[in-house]
Amino acid sequence: MFTVKPFKIDVQQTVLDDLNNRLRQTRWPDAPENIGWQYGTDSIFLQSLVTYWQNGYDWRKQEAALNKFPQFTVEIDGVTIHFLHIKSANAHAKPLLLVHGWPDCFYRFHKVIPLLTKDYDLVIPSIPGFGFSGRVAMTDDGSAKVFATLMKDVLGYQTFFAAGGDVGSGIVKSLANLYPENVAAIHLTDVGYPNGTEDWSTMSPAEQAFGQFIQQWWFKEGAYAMLHATKPQTQAYGLNDSPAGLASWIIEKFNTWRTPGGVIEDHFSKDELLTNVMIYWVSQTINSSMRTYAVGSFQQLASSQKVNTPTGVAVFSGDAPTPKEWAERKVNVKRFTVIEKGGHFAALEAPEIWAGEVDTFFKSVK
């Protein structure tokens, strides 16, 4: 028996007052002149963001907007799971589970909710260890089992669709492999990456080029993931203590993984960036979210096995340039689309495009 409880975000004023004090007392490091984002987060941008955070950003407004969506919590296997459940007015609507990644949260999907509720019952959980779920880090398989219980046993959906990106992609692949009788089809924005163990003689030229791209990417951009996978506690002290530090760690990824061109505010507003950071700050889940990498490292998980469930794949220009041949190694590709606008957080950056892709694919599934 599961007890589902209504949930409202209601951050205590003392938490917000403490945040403002910490922002006001930020001790800024030096930065090379005109370095921009080359060494990491642009100090000029971050200082302007912190100034806005103190003087212009309205958390209560954002909190009220999020609370317009029906939210709930339920305990599954001893872990509190927070989720949005938006039921369609369409009696024939299909259940659709949406799973976020890191360093975003359920907020990734808030723009696509009105675009999809005509034909889908949406279930948007916070991954264990993220947001308003319990601060327990789980592997892809562990989260998949929790979400299967949520969909089947708590909400009564015996068959459903699922879509995800980043960490969410791994969880959705695990769901498809562990519960093939329940997961009718899945949609992903990334399918996994070459890790150097592949037999290159069996790989197409496009796959080999992709493998070289990923290798270079890990040298240039992958240090954060190695830290998360090996020493998450080390950086957690600073990130959980300093809101400016937390914003720097998170927002650098939003800048790096967006559609190429322009500046970050061409793609995400300050309010969007800060609301995502705020969810980590008020829930104090940056540490447990990073531990997700550590608990899943060096394990053979269902997410690493090929998925036979029908799969749609959308590759956005700001994300890794996955070739179709590689996707076909990892999943049962039924739709493969390369899209020029959008990046790693496509549902937030390009919601109409992402929602259109997801809708078109799931409606094509027989």
Q: What is the pLDDT of residues 20-52, one digit of tens each?
A: 999 999 999 999 999 999 999 999 999 999 999
Look at residue 300 in the predicted model and tell me its pLDDT.
Answer: 83
**Contact of 189 with 123, CB cutoff 8 Å:** no
CA distances from 338 to 150, 207, 251, 272, 328 (A): 32, 15, 25, 25, 14
The Cα 70–Cα 349 span in angstroms is: 23
How much of the chain, in percent, has pLDDT values that exceed 90? 96
The catalytic residue among 104, 187, 293, 319 is: 293
**Span 129-147, average pLDDT:** 98
**Span 335-343, average pLDDT:** 96
CATH number for position 328 = 3.40.50.1820
Instruction: Tell me how far apart the 2 most distant CA atoms of the chain are, in Å.
Output: 60
Is-catalytic flag, 280? no
The catalytic residue among 85, 228, 267, 344 is: 344
The catalytic residue among 166, 190, 319, 359 is: 166
123, β-bridge pairs: 85, 97
Per the structure, the count of domains in the chain is 1
User: What backbone torsions phi and psi does residue 96 show, to the nearest 5 degrees?
Assistant: -135, 120
Long-range contacts of 135-139 (CB under 8 A, 24+ apart): 135/283, 135/284, 135/285, 135/287, 135/288, 136/79, 136/288, 137/288, 137/289, 137/291, 137/292, 137/294, 137/295, 138/79, 138/292, 138/295, 139/292, 139/295, 139/296, 139/299, 139/301
198 pLDDT higher than 90: no
298 pLDDT higher than 90: no
Is-catalytic flag, 190? no
Is-catalytic flag, 30? no
Note the pLDDT tens digit of each residue in 209-264: 999 999 999 999 999 999 999 999 999 999 999 999 999 999 999 999 999 999 99
80 pLDDT higher than 90: yes
How much of the chain, in percent, has pLDDT values that exceed 70? 100
Look at residue 296 in the predicted model and tell me its pLDDT.
Answer: 85
HEC string of the chain equals CCCCEEECCCCCHHHHHHHHHHHHCCCCCCCCCCCCCCCCCCHHHHHHHHHHHHHCCCHHHHHHHHCCCCEEEEEECCEEEEEEEECCCCCCCEEEEEECCCCCCHHHHCCCHHHHCCCEEEEEECCCCCCCCCCCCCCHHHHHHHHHHHHHHHCCCCCEEEEECCHHHHHHHHHHHHCCCCEEEEEECCCCCCCCCCCHHHCCHHHHHHHHHHHHHHHHHCHHHHHHHHCHHHHHHHHHHCHHHHHHHHHHHHHHCCCCCCCHHHCCCHHHHHHHHHHHHHHCCHHHHHHHHHHHCCCCCHHHCCEEEEEEEEEECCCCCCCHHHHHHHEEEEEEEEECCCCCCHHHHCHHHHHHHHHHHHHHCC
Tokens of 195: 């890790």
The Cα 239–Cα 237 span in angstroms is: 6
Prior bond to 103 cis, omega within 30? yes
Q: Which residue has the tokens 């260890």?
A: 129
The Cα 171–Cα 143 span in angstroms is: 6
Local confidence band at 142 (pLDDT 50, 70, 90 cut-offs): very high
Local confidence band at 279 (pLDDT 50, 70, 90 cut-offs): very high
Q: Which domain holds residue 251?
A: 5-364
Look at residue 153 in the predicted model and tell me its pLDDT.
Answer: 98
The Cα 96–Cα 130 span in angstroms is: 20
Q: What's the mean pLDDT when you consider all of the chain? A: 97
**Contact of 315 with 309, CB cutoff 8 Å:** no
Q: Which residue has the tokens 């957080």?
A: 345
